[in-house]
Amino acid sequence: MSDSSHSYSSHVEPSSTPDNVIKALSIDNLIFGLDHGKLDILLIKHKVGISKGQWALPGGWIRYDENLRDAATRHLHELTGVTDLYLEQLKTFGRVDRFPSERVVTVAYYALVSAEDYKVVAGNNATDASWFGIHELPELIFDHKEIIDFGIQHLQQQVRRRPIGFNLLPEKFTLLQLQELYEGILDTKLDKPNFRRKIMKMNLLASCDEKQQGVAHRAAKLYRFDEEAYQALTEKGFSFEI
Amino acid sequence: MSDSSHSYSSHVEPSSTPDNVIKALSIDNLIFGLDHGKLDILLIKHKVGISKGQWALPGGWIRYDENLRDAATRHLHELTGVTDLYLEQLKTFGRVDRFPSERVVTVAYYALVSAEDYKVVAGNNATDASWFGIHELPELIFDHKEIIDFGIQHLQQQVRRRPIGFNLLPEKFTLLQLQELYEGILDTKLDKPNFRRKIMKMNLLASCDEKQQGVAHRAAKLYRFDEEAYQALTEKGFSFEI
DNA sequence: ATTTCTTGTGGTCAAATATACCATATTACA
DNA sequence: TGTAATATGGTATATTTGACCACAAGAAAT
């Protein structure tokens, strides 16, 4: 691994900062996962630096010849093993005193994943990587708690207007799982028959012609999100809303 | 004026870049105005540097001891004379090749103003500053056109969900002005009676107990946006939607 | 004073949507 | 075979949306 892949936990010793990165500019990733209806966030522990041993969002420096999203993807992979997921820009955080002793502005990215689909392992620059419930977060470095709070608020708004919630579920899911997802994120109770009708009327779900296995009651049908149908509808001016 | 207030047009000669700023990180402001129902953007011409004589979004470097929004506000003031307005973060643009010869990431901010309320003058580091209709934009430096395109799309989405459109109007306005504003931004035609009812039902407008002056027809009532009422409603879970 | 023109304002009605609640079908498992 | 949990369909009512009509107001021109 080259020097420039060091996560920024090493940055607090200036001499160890790789010189092919943009100083004063970093990336932080906010990865949401869903575990039994509970919203989780992926955190890592830095291996070295002032923040060694402390929990943090997975992130690090940006290389001179690297686009922002590429840097985000790379750090996520190197720190947690998570790959193949689409990161969306959240916001840039730049309070003068957010980083100790130096001025560092960070661009935050976020994504939603099905926790069970992603194996999480501590990468080369992390001693630990794991999921935390949003109500059981440990102490975090810098302004990472602030980034998380902003991200949760953002998620609650976005999930109602864009079909991003599906990313939190496994590829095949039941309508009840989907409903519980929305109830979890939005912190409300929804009427089952009405919810089903609303979703089905959108024509965004494709039936898998399969049923749940091994449940102690009537098995539910499995559906998957039909990305193509969504694209087609979007071009016709369709707008998702829950 | 101190060195650090130089807009980044001077940055292309490295030796002239002030050293109390964060290199590789800049600000750009996207200021929307409304002129006779036409959406405008505020542009400036840099006084020096490689982009001298070319139109650009008003922006520049960020000082080490300066928060992002403060930097945005400062540059806007120094370049155009515009002051007292609330800038919102839009997005960060960081394509590797967006800036010539160096790697510069820029944080874009945006705001909406009533064009007639703001006198625009070229500041110390600009030879020119003026409004351009979004369909009559001149050639722009770097990726500023891309920033504008993203901003317009963002505006069209936001204007329907947040009462930000009012910022484009004078303090006192008529309902027809407001309707034309929405028709202009959203590029649609709206039914007058229905629009009025929808707006009035929100209880966000306070009557000024005044009427239009000097018009060749029945004078319309003047209203103003009731910021306090909006705050109160928001806390009760009200959500603005057009 | 009357006309004229543009805009403000109110009404209505059908269609679409949201919401609440009831009832029943299905099926894995004990 | 029963039971429990879930899927699924029905329906009646309130609310919202969208389209359209008609007329009142009032400033200016004649």
Domain ranges (residues) in chain A: 3-159, 175-236
A3-159 and A175-236 agree in CATH topology: no
> pTM of this prediction?
0.89
Which residues from B are below 8 Å from A105, CB to CB?
22, 25, 62, 68, 107
The pLDDT tens digits of the residues spanning A117-150 come to: 677 788 777 789 999 999 999 999 999 999 999 9
Is A62 or B11 the better-scoring residue by pLDDT? A62
Q: Which helix (H) or strand (E) holds B41?
A: strand B38-46
Give the integer Cα–Cα distance in Å for A173 and B69.
43
Give the integer Cα–Cα distance in Å for A178 and B50.
54
- Smallest CA-to-CA distance from B8 within B93, B100, B88 is with B100
**Fold of the CATH domain A175-236:** Arc Repressor Mutant, subunit A (1.10.10)
Give the integer Cα–Cα distance in Å for B218 and A180.
55
Q: Verify if strand C has an atom below 7 Å from the CB of A211.
A: yes
Q: Which of A25, A91, A95 sits opposite B89 (nearest CB)?
A: A91
Closest C1' nucleotide to B217's CA: D27
Superfamily of chain region A3-159:
Nucleoside Triphosphate Pyrophosphohydrolase (3.90.79.10)
A 10 A CB-CB count for A172 gives 14
Give the integer Cα–Cα distance in Å for B86 and B72.
10
Inter-residue long-range contacts of B64-72, CB under 8 Å, 24+ positions, other chains counted: B64/A96, B64/A103, B64/B20, B64/B21, B64/B22, B65/A96, B65/A103, B66/A96, B67/A94, B67/A95, B67/A96, B68/A92, B68/A94, B68/A105, B68/B27, B68/B107, B68/B109, B69/B109, B71/B27, B72/B27, B72/B29, B72/B107, B72/B109
Label residue A145 exposed, middle or buried (CB < 10 Å: 0-12, 13-18, 19+): middle
Closest C1' nucleotide to B212's CA: D27
- Answer whether residue A164 shows pLDDT above 50: yes
SS (H, E, C) B112-180: EECHHHCCCCCCCCEEEEEEEECCCCCCECCCHHHHHHHHHHHHHHHHHHCCCHHHHCCCCECHHHHHH
Q: Is A158 helix (H, G, I), strand (E, B) or coil?
A: helix
Copy the structure tokens of residue A23.
Answer: 């100083």
Residues 38-67 of A with CB under 8 A from B: 62, 64-67
User: What is the structure's pLDDT at A208?
Assistant: 85
Least confident of A152-161, B54-63, B167-176, B233-242: B233-242
User: What is the structure's pLDDT at B71?
Assistant: 97
- Answer whether residue A10 shows pLDDT above 60: no
Residue pointed to by tokens 């515009």: B82
User: What is the structure's pLDDT at B7?
Assistant: 52
Q: Residue A17: which pLDDT band, with cuts at 50, 70 and 90?
A: low
- Answer whether residue A63 shows pLDDT above 90: yes
- Answer whether residue A87 shows pLDDT above 90: yes
- Answer whether residue B14 shows pLDDT above 60: no
CB B122 within 8 Å of CB B128: yes
Mean of the per-residue pLDDT values of chain B: 87
Q: CA of B169 vs C1' of D15, distance in Å?
A: 31
Give the integer Cα–Cα distance in Å for A126 and A45.
5
Share of residues in chain A with pLDDT > 70 (%):
91
- Smallest CA-to-CA distance from A240 within A170, A171, A155, A158 is with A158
Is B89 or B216 the better-scoring residue by pLDDT? B89
CB A62 within 8 Å of CB A27: yes
Give the integer Cα–Cα distance in Å for B29 and B126.
14
Q: Residue A12: which pLDDT band, with cuts at 50, 70 and 90?
A: very low
Give the integer Cα–Cα distance in Å for B57 and B59.
6
Q: CA of B184 vs C1' of C7, distance in Å?
A: 19
- Answer whether residue B13 shows pLDDT above 80: no
Question: In Å, what is the CA distance from A18 to each residue of A11, A15, A25, A65?
Answer: 8, 8, 13, 14
- pLDDT average, residue stretch B127-131: 89
User: What is the structure's pLDDT at B16?
Assistant: 53
User: What is the structure's pLDDT at B1?
Assistant: 37
Nucleotides of C under 7 A from a protein CB: 5-12, 18-23, 25-30
**How many helical (H) and strand (E) elements, i.e. helices and strands, does chain B have?**
5, 9
- Answer whether residue A80 shows pLDDT above 70: yes
Q: Which helix (H) or strand (E) holds A221?
A: strand A221-225
- Smallest CA-to-CA distance from A156 within A205, A110, A107 is with A110
**How many helical (H) and strand (E) elements, i.e. helices and strands, does chain A have?**
5, 9
Mean of the per-residue pLDDT values of chain A: 86
- Answer whether residue A15 shows pLDDT above 70: no
- Smallest CA-to-CA distance from A12 within A61, A58, A45 is with A61
User: What is the structure's pLDDT at A16?
Assistant: 52
The pLDDT tens digits of the residues spanning B177-233 come to: 999 999 988 888 999 999 999 999 999 999 888 888 877 788 889 999 999 999 988
Q: CA of A215 vs C1' of C29, distance in Å?
A: 9
Cβ neighbours of residue B4 closer than 8 Å, sequence gap 6 or more: B18, B20, B21, B61, B63
Q: Residue B17: which pLDDT band, with cuts at 50, 70 and 90?
A: low
